Structure 1
Amino acid sequence: MDLDIVGLSRLQFAATAMYHFLFVPLTLGLSIMLAIMETVYVMTKRPVWRQMTKFWGTLFGINFAIGVATGIVMEFQFGMNWSYYSHYVGDIFGAPLAIEGLMAFFLEATLVGLFFFGWERLSKVKHLLVTWFMALGTNFSALWILIANGWMQNPTGAALNPQTMRMEVTSFADVLFNPVAQAKFVHTVSAGYTVAAIFVLGVSAWYLLKGRHIDLARRSMTVAASFGLAASLSVVVLGDESGYLSGEHQSMKLAAIEAMWDTQPAPASFTAIGFPDQEARETHYAVHIPWVMGLIGTRSLTTEIPGINNLVEQAKGRIANGIIAYDVLEDIRALGHQPIPDELRARFEAHSGDLGHALLLKRYVDDPRQATAEHIEKAAWDTVPQVAPLFWTFRIMVGLGFFFILLTAVFFWYSARHRLHNVPRWLLHVAVWTIPLPWIAAECGWFVAEFGRQPWAIEGILPVAVAVSNLSASTVLLTLLGFVAIYTVLIVVEMKLMFKAVRNGPHLDAQDREEVQTSPYALPQHTPASAS
């Protein structure tokens, strides 16, 4: 990636987004797990479940606060670094973000306060309802953000107004029920649940290794193992759905992930491992698994998946068609506020679907109509993202996903057989060291989704190179360094607070002690005096 204004703007948004997403998945998953734990507490009246809810709730609160602080900045970047993007698609992209803020985030933030300060002020059932609504609010926030992002991947329910040069909503229902957005939502949320489950599993394993808070750790491990197994299985199933939709709506991304340079006979094989060479346009030492890619990408045995070279040839045709749309658009803009003749409007609508491909030429010429065959060739190859990073990142993500299934399945087996007290110490160590891996998998997922969309800010409509603000590279570089510094400090603060909370363990307030003393279900707290 060239470190010009476009490259630096991409790098800045990627850095802030990936920093922010370090906090989001844990918030998503812990919110649901808190609701599950408190439900068990209300149903069984066992004090240990109340302690569990409050302890994991403390970790949730730390993560939530830092996540909010890192997320607010991203929305301002659309206006600061991507002003033409905001002008071009703001009418559509802004609506889900506004709804997220007004409906989901305010609900979530308000109920977070009630969750922490309502234990002694609300009845058990009312506080349980607060916890469940807090969890729903957290997931609703993700829904609206992913509807906006899904529209960037598959722009539907909108059309360009040639007089205002703005995309306008034609069907909000199509934006809302965009199949790519819905698949991204369930896939991302399931990944967040897996992150939280592995986190709870790992921390619980650490307590068991230290011989501290045994009752809390074993019950937390039971919840985490079952919840994590279901979530990790869902991630794989929903990832298959995302692969199918990529084949339908983002063929170049799918071809780049697979390093498929030429169209294969159906059903296409899956490249388990290989070494993509973008200059030579081939994959060295590739190991193929027959049929798998065809089934993932098309769910059939007869439909072909186009290769990169074939898609580039298609892009050349779309660029040529887009130049016609650009020429008609200039005629329309010359009319000013006069009505557009029907013939001119019909010509524009016939070619407008490829206008975005003509805008790829803006990287080489100011007026796409002046482009040469060489310019068109370069612009067509610009539609190919960097293959090797996508190829390997995708396989790291998938490999980790199957490892999480295996790990949670093993702990689920121990839990179902009531043998958590017999878990080998080496397996507990594995659980502890696995804690950071779901974050790596989640970041890999976002990298594949966003890097694979290049060079498009809006798939097929607006290239990244056209979407940026008119800023100097030094200005963007300075703010990038500032954001990295601030976010790094926030991550260090979060980790210190989380480590401190885990080391201290659950805190028993007056009501906790009273319930422990009076409850017939109370169990002895296996906490050494030195740890207390």
Structure 2
Amino acid sequence: MELDIVSLSRLQFAMTALYHFLFVPLTLGLSIILAIMETVYVMTDRPIWKEMTKFWGTLFGINFVLGVATGITMEFQFGMNWSYYSHYVGDIFGAPLAIEGLMAFFLEATFVGLFFFGWDRMSKRGHLAATWAVAAGSNLSALWILIANGWMQNPVGSVFNPATMRMEVASFYEVLFNPVAQAKFVHTVSAGYVTASIFVLGVSSWYVLKGRHIALAKRSMAVAASFGLLSSLSVVVLGDESGYLTTEHQRMKLASIEGMWETEPAPASFTLLGFPNQEARETHHIIQIPWALGLIATRSLDTPIPGIRELVERAQARVRNGIIAYDALQQIRAARGAENVPASVREAFEANGNNLGYAFLLLRHTDDPRKATDAQIEAAAWDLVPPVAPLFWSFRVMVGLGFYFIALLATFFLLSAWQKLDRYRFLLWMAVFSIPLPWIAAEAGWIVAEVGRQPWIIEGMLPTAVAVSSLGITQVLLTLCGFIIIYSVLFVIEMTLMVRAIRKGPPPEADLVGPAPLPNVAPMRGILPAE
């Protein structure tokens, strides 16, 4: 990577985003699991379910605090490192983030306090309502953030104003119900549910292996296996929907994920394994599954899927049309008032304005896109190809781990149903060693989504290279080093607190499994259940 302002700004945002995303999936999933456990407690009045909720709630709290600390930093980066981006799309992108902060985050933060400090100050049902509010706030927060991110992937409901050089909202309804955003939301939160389920399953398996807190561990494993299995199956279904939408809106990303340089005739085959070579512009030693890609990407057997070379050829035409739009834009801005703009110029911009972003790609090769040569136009079109190998392997790591989670959670679901959770020690050890795998899958998915969008910061409209702030390399490099140091310290604190809480475990009374004793009623053998 070249040491320039764009690369350093991208590296800084990528580092902070990847680190922040270590906390998001666990927060999303644990909030729902806590609500499920407390619901069982309120319904059964068994103390063990209350202690389970408190114990896993402690781990949730540690994770939540670190997630908030790292998430706030990311939002400030839009103004610090991506000021032109903020100017260009602030009217649209800022709205979901503001709603997330004012509605979802404050809802979540308020009820988190009630969750931790309201056990002895609220009724059971009141506290349960607070716990479900925490879960709702966590997921609403993810919804609004992914609406903003989904708009970057598929910028619907917006128009470009040449007078202000800004994107403006044309339909907030379209922004809100953007199909890409909705698919990303349900896919992401389901992945978070799987992450928390594997975490609870692994920690509980460790307790069983150590012979500690068996009653709590087995019940936690049963909840995690049931909830996690449903979530892992939904991840696959919703991932299929994301693949279908990618075919519609981000064809270059799909072709790069497949390492597909040539157009794949119908019915398109899915590349199971291969070795992409971006310099040679080909993929070696391919192993394919016939028809699979056609079914996933087009839901048909008669639709070909364009390869990278064909998409680059199409892009050259869009770059040329973008130059027309760029020339019209300069004339519009030079005119003093809309009444001074010739009708032919307005018509030229309206006809080609959706290709303006492709002209901006030329700014990497020339100061004036209107003077671009054929070679520069071709180079700009090839800039649309993201890093193929990282996308190719990240996608396969994510998918492979997804199917592994289904198998693991299904196995423990059956063991729970058969009451044999402590029978097979090698499976318990598999669960323990599987704890970090959901995070690897989540980070791989983030790479697929964000690296696959390059070179766009807004798909088809604004290249990443022209969205950065006017900062010096030294400034960005210093802040990058500062973030690395601070985040490393926070990571050590996070892991220390989590490991310490797990080793300490729940209090001894957490092993109580029976219902709360009834006043003035002696237990009667054969009538009250013995546990």
TM-score (norm 1): 0.96
Within 2, Cα distance between the matches of 1:308 and 1:445?
Answer: 21
Mapping 1:329-408, distance limit 5 Å: 329-339=329-339, 340-408=341-409
Question: Structure 1: which 5+ residue stretches go unaligned?
Answer: 525-532
Alignment deviations for residues 358-387 of structure 1 (CA, whole Å, 9 cap, x no partner): 000000111100111111011000000011
Mapping 1:159-308, distance limit 5 Å: 159-308=159-308
CA contact (8 A) 1:48 1:522 kept: no
Deviation at 1:26, TM superposition (A): 0.1
> What amino acid sits opposite 1:29 in the alignment?
G
Within 1, Cα distance between the matches of 2:172 and 2:35?
Answer: 32
Deviation at 1:518, TM superposition (A): 6.1
Deviation at 1:435, TM superposition (A): 0.1
Equivalence for 1:119: 119
Deviation at 1:474, TM superposition (A): 1.5
3-state SS of 1:243 partner: helix
Within 2, Cα distance between the matches of 1:514 and 1:382?
Answer: 65
Alignment deviations for residues 316-346 of structure 1 (CA, whole Å, 9 cap, x no partner): 0000000000000001001144445554323
CA contact (8 A) 1:46 1:522 kept: no
CA contact (8 A) 1:516 1:522 kept: no
CA contact (8 A) 2:48 2:514 kept: no
Within 2, Cα distance between the matches of 1:336 and 1:113?
Answer: 56
Within 2, Cα distance between the matches of 1:367 and 1:50?
Answer: 67
> What amino acid sits opposite 2:403 in the alignment?
F
> What amino acid sits opposite 1:478 in the alignment?
L
Counterparts in 2 of 1:286 and 1:16: CA distance versus 1, 3 Å: same
Within 2, Cα distance between the matches of 1:515 and 1:116?
Answer: 22
Instruction: Give the total of aligned pairs.
Output: 522
Mapping 1:370-519, distance limit 5 Å: 370-422=371-423, 424-507=424-507
Equivalence for 1:530: none
3-state SS of 2:283 partner: strand
Within 2, Cα distance between the matches of 1:465 and 1:243?
Answer: 27
Equivalence for 1:145: 145
Counterparts in 2 of 1:451 and 1:283: CA distance versus 1, 3 Å: same
Within 2, Cα distance between the matches of 1:22 and 1:361?
Answer: 36
Within 2, Cα distance between the matches of 1:465 and 1:518?
Answer: 69
Alignment deviations for residues 171-224 of structure 1 (CA, whole Å, 9 cap, x no partner): 000000000000000000000000000000000000000000000000000000
Equivalence for 1:69: 69
> What amino acid sits opposite 1:401 in the alignment?
G
Q: Provide the aligned C-alpha RMSD in A.
A: 1.7
Within 1, Cα distance between the matches of 2:127 and 2:342?
Answer: 62
Equivalence for 2:37: 37
Alignment deviations for residues 95-147 of structure 1 (CA, whole Å, 9 cap, x no partner): 00000000000000000000000000000001001101110010000000000
CA contact (8 A) 2:44 2:515 kept: no
Alignment deviations for residues 389-445 of structure 1 (CA, whole Å, 9 cap, x no partner): 1101110111100000000000000011222232x1111011000000000000000
Within 2, Cα distance between the matches of 1:2 and 1:25?
Answer: 32
3-state SS of 2:275 partner: strand
Within 2, Cα distance between the matches of 1:301 and 1:452?
Answer: 25
Mapping 1:7-86, distance limit 5 Å: 7-86=7-86
Within 2, Cα distance between the matches of 1:76 and 1:342?
Answer: 42
Within 1, Cα distance between the matches of 2:236 and 2:216?
Answer: 30
Within 1, Cα distance between the matches of 2:460 and 2:411?
Answer: 44
Deviation at 1:294, TM superposition (A): 1.0
Deviation at 1:523, TM superposition (A): 8.1
Deviation at 1:248, TM superposition (A): 0.5
Within 1, Cα distance between the matches of 2:3 and 2:285?
Answer: 32
> What amino acid sits opposite 2:95 in the alignment?
A
Question: Structure 2: which 5+ residue stretches go unaligned?
Answer: none
Within 2, Cα distance between the matches of 1:420 and 1:321?
Answer: 64
Identity of aligned residues (%): 70
TM-score (norm 2): 0.96
